[in-house]
Structure 1
């Protein structure tokens, strides 16, 4: 055991943390479906400094026990928590993740209650207000947590390089700090306001960034952007910020867009660094932008489950730089056109399905 670096522990009712402490080479632990492992009192004298990566899945664990577990792993740089439905972060100094001063990456999904005990009215309460995450965090991914109701929970994370907020349907702009976007290289925002007619939060978020006096044209470092609103992104002010660095743009789950306005067409032309463009599950979108040919750097175009899209651009309307076109699970007409395009140009890869 003195050479073990990665350990997966599944469906085990008890294991000695004191024994784990003896495995000096241990770097990564993955707990899954360990129903009663954390129900007993943990020996707080056990500290495992060697473990940098911890994953906890499908565990029945309270916020109090979770805090005790984390105190056993003070050197964590990566933490993943998934489908621990009873887990609620404690809103105090040693109750959240703020005590993990070396934490670089956090991924959480499928809880729904993680922030339910957090006082939402105080999340933006000044520089000294307690926040759930340490300022050291560089990567944050949160999926399907309805208890996350304020962007103020993230207001201290000004060193983030990657941020994903997906299906946090109660999330609002309260307490939003534009500075959290300054160092972002990768940004995914796919949230619909559950209580406001499925309005997208991305529009308000980008408007706040554009209006901020802390930002200026060319200040964005964003390389990859995945978002659920075409209209929020394709404006001249926003695309001016994105133009220099953005190489990947994915529009997903936009239920409102049907066609592209003249202003949106003009804004798209500003994205001169774009190499990858995707339209995913935009169920009411009927056509692609007319100005695709103006994107001289575009290498790959993906259309996935856009059921109302009627046609592809004519052959002469496709970019000379385009190397791959993928059409997946769209309407029959679009799939037929994609297959014909593949037959006429064997070098041009087309994947057509559906």
Structure 2
């Protein structure tokens, strides 16, 4: 549904109740959050929702029972049965930390079946998020298996996402307190992509300290792609990833000519590494030491 007003609600209620997929785009001028909430009330089986360029929506929340009279014009309340949610190019949209009407309206915790979430170019999405007793300080439900955050100005705690398998963080800021290192140590994360997000790894090292080997379960991360060479090639992170990481792709800045001695030593801690991709290191003058142990595998 693109560039059109919402259909009459009486007509929507007559549609088959088995509608599962809905994409809405370019409703900047014609539709408010209240109208969209009312429309979603008519689709009890909806499981996948995509929202693009809906500039009138500035607030997002969830309630277990959507009530038309309890919504304001700018607030979108999502139905709790959603399994996949994509939100793109909504520059003023921010997630409500607490329900405006009580109950489970704050954060996305009430989306207990949500397994995939993409937030793309919504810079204020987590700007209003503050830890609260009702949300336990976490914005996203533990059911998530895939999460993409692109162009979000501030990150919120992620360490509760014990079911998360794939995490992509593009061009985000405010990485302090994201809990990435704890997520790596105690979660199911196997694929991680981080770019344009300075200090995400190094901040975790400084704030959380070194995890003792005896108390830290082995990380499950197998694939890592990042431009934060200094953050990843640090002894605490490489020690944590030592037994699991098999594929590492590094995108350093364009001026990087060599690895530091500390980075080379950290790289050698990755004893499970089978593939090292340095194909974007255009000015690299020499390969890091210790690559001879990868001779039976692959260096790009």
TM-score of the superposed pair, with normalisation by structure 2:
0.76
Query: Pick from 124, 140, 144: which aligns with 1:113?
Result: 124
Moved more, 182-191 or 235-244: 235-244
1:293 maps onto 2:292 in alignment: yes
Give 1:51's aligned residue: 46
Backbone CA RMSD of aligned residues: 3.4
Query: Pick from 94, 115, 119: which aligns with 1:88?
Result: 94
Question: Does the 8 Å CA contact 1:251/1:278 hold for their aligned counterparts?
Answer: yes
The aligned runs of 1:108-257 (5 Å cut-off) are: 108-119=119-130, 123=131, 129-146=136-153, 148=154, 150-152=155-157, 154-169=158-173, 171-174=174-177, 176=179, 178-181=181-184, 182-183=186-187, 184-193=189-198, 200-206=199-205, 208=207, 211-213=210-212, 219-254=218-253, 257=256
Measured after TM superposition, the shift of residue 112 of structure 1 is 1.2
Question: Does the 8 Å CA contact 2:25/2:54 hold for their aligned counterparts?
Answer: yes
Give 1:62's aligned residue: 57
Measured after TM superposition, the shift of residue 101 of structure 1 is 1.6
Measured after TM superposition, the shift of residue 62 of structure 1 is 2.0
Uncovered stretches (5+) of structure 1, i.e. residues with no partner: 1-8, 194-199, 302-354
Measured after TM superposition, the shift of residue 259 of structure 1 is 0.8
Task: Note closer, same or farther for the CA distance 1:167–1:252 as it changes in structure 2 (3 Å cut).
Answer: same
Task: Note closer, same or farther for the CA distance 1:267–1:251 as it changes in structure 2 (3 Å cut).
Answer: same
Aligned residues: 279
Question: For 1:256 and 1:217, how far apart are their aligned partners in 2?
Answer: 36
Question: Does the 8 Å CA contact 1:48/1:74 hold for their aligned counterparts?
Answer: no
Question: Does the 8 Å CA contact 1:64/1:95 hold for their aligned counterparts?
Answer: no
Question: Does the 8 Å CA contact 2:47/2:84 hold for their aligned counterparts?
Answer: yes
Measured after TM superposition, the shift of residue 116 of structure 1 is 2.5
Measured after TM superposition, the shift of residue 207 of structure 1 is 5.1
1:13 maps onto 2:5 in alignment: yes
Measured after TM superposition, the shift of residue 134 of structure 1 is 1.9
TM-score of the superposed pair, with normalisation by structure 1:
0.66
The aligned runs of 1:280-319 (5 Å cut-off) are: 282=281, 285-296=284-295, 298-299=297-298, 301=300
Moved more, 66-75 or 94-103: 66-75
Measured after TM superposition, the shift of residue 29 of structure 1 is 1.5
Query: Pick from 48, 69, 73: which aligns with 2:79?
Result: 73
Question: Does the 8 Å CA contact 1:254/1:283 hold for their aligned counterparts?
Answer: no
- The structure number with the bigger radius of gyration is 1
Answer 1 or 2: higher relative contact order, Cα 8 Å, separation at least 6.
Answer: 2
